Amino acid sequence: MPYARTALLLAGLTGLFLAAGYLIGGEAGMVVALGLALVMNLFAYWSSDRMVLSTYGAREVGPKDAPELWNIIERLATRAALPMPRVYIIDNPQPNAFATGRNPQNAAVAATTGLLQTLDHEEVAGVMAHELAHVKSRDTLIMTITATLAGALGMLANFAFFLGGSHRQNNPLGAIGTILVVILAPIAAMLVQFAISRSREYEADRVGAEISGRPLWLASALEKLDRSSRRVDNHVAEANPATAHLFIVNPLHARASDGLFTTHPPVENRVLRLRQMAGAAGSWG
């Protein structure tokens, strides 16, 4: 993903922080929010990947801890001409996976225990190729930064709810300003997720299929992941919805009402594209 788009998103998030700070505490609140935004931007760039991995309790594994998963990723990384990423496993029954890191040299891929138990060897390879496609396309940075800053916007809303009243004398809109922050900040966090184009997943599917050489591996994996993730809760993701866009399939089925408010394209559309890709390639399967 182009760095210009990353800069634009960060500027938009900074503007949201400033607006929220102004509604909470006037000009003084805006100055505090600016400082917070600068700190969060720096933190998100350097540490957001570690924060997300920590949030999900991911544990790093090596070739002796998870030899099959490690070997799959090592072979795919070689095919993709990428450095070997750090490999993590998340103890979570919902089958899912994500990639994170500010660049390919500092990338990590994480798979849940549910994914490793649900998919066969080829399907795991299809999923890991998809995640390495995110690394190769360099969109893991904006994905992880978005998760961190969207969560910070939610934190700011909580701050406004619990402490806004005590600063009402500096609040240009009084109680209305505080209420606006409480209501609009979570909505803004959701819109930040929408800023991550749903076409990103289609592109990662395409590039991932090229990395593995087998589009149908990922197609089969997506069908299984979609069915299983709808039945199994991911409680950590439900508590941290700003991270939902990181995963290969939507982990928030417990809150999902329809396909409008999701950063993930419909799985059936993704599978159709992959099957068309396999058909066009002829020898792929």
Please list, in sequence order, all residues whose beta carbon lies within 8 angstroms of the beta carbon of residue 266, skipping any fewer than 6 positions away: 259
- Higher-confidence position of 140 and 197: 140
In a domain, 159, yes or no: no
pLDDT, residue 59, reads 98
Would the pLDDT of 12 be above 60? yes
In angstroms, the Cα distances linking 160 to 10, 29, 129 are 22, 11, 42
Provide, rounded to the nearest whole percent, the portion of the chain with pLDDT above 70: 72
Number of domains in the chain: 1
Would the pLDDT of 128 be above 50? yes
Would the pLDDT of 78 be above 90? yes
Would the pLDDT of 173 be above 60? no
In a domain, 124, yes or no: yes
178 — pLDDT class (breaks 50, 70, 90): low
For 92-106, 129-143, 223-237, 247-261, which range has the lowest pLDDT when averaged over its residues? Answer: 247-261
Segments forming the whole domain that contains residue 101: 3-148+195-281
**Mean pLDDT computed over 172-190:** 63
**Mean pLDDT computed over 116-137:** 97
**Mean pLDDT computed over 160-184:** 58
pLDDT, residue 245, reads 86
Would the pLDDT of 273 be above 90? yes
pLDDT, residue 260, reads 47
15 — pLDDT class (breaks 50, 70, 90): confident
283 — pLDDT class (breaks 50, 70, 90): very low
- Higher-confidence position of 10 and 82: 82
- Higher-confidence position of 273 and 141: 273
Provide, rounded to the nearest whole percent, the portion of the chain with pLDDT above 90: 49
Distance from chain centroid for Cα 283: 33
In a domain, 9, yes or no: yes
Catalytic-residue membership of 68: no
In a domain, 200, yes or no: yes
Would the pLDDT of 162 be above 90? no
CATH of the domain at 271: 3.30.2010.10
189 — pLDDT class (breaks 50, 70, 90): low
How far the first Cα of the chain sits from its last, in Å, is 29
Q: Which of 123, 131, 201, 210 does the annotation list as catalytic?
A: 131
In a domain, 141, yes or no: yes
Q: Among candidates 175, 154, 150, 153, which has minimal Cα distance to 164?
A: 175
pLDDT, residue 23, reads 74
Q: How far apart are CA 198 and CA 77, in angstroms?
A: 24
In a domain, 169, yes or no: no
Average pLDDT, the chain: 82
Give yes or no for a contact between 13 and 153, defined as CB atoms under 8 angstroms apart.
yes
In a domain, 221, yes or no: yes
In a domain, 256, yes or no: yes
Would the pLDDT of 42 be above 60? yes
Q: How far apart are CA 122 and CA 109, in angstroms?
A: 17
**Mean pLDDT computed over 219-238:** 95
pLDDT, residue 40, reads 74
**Mean pLDDT computed over 130-146:** 86
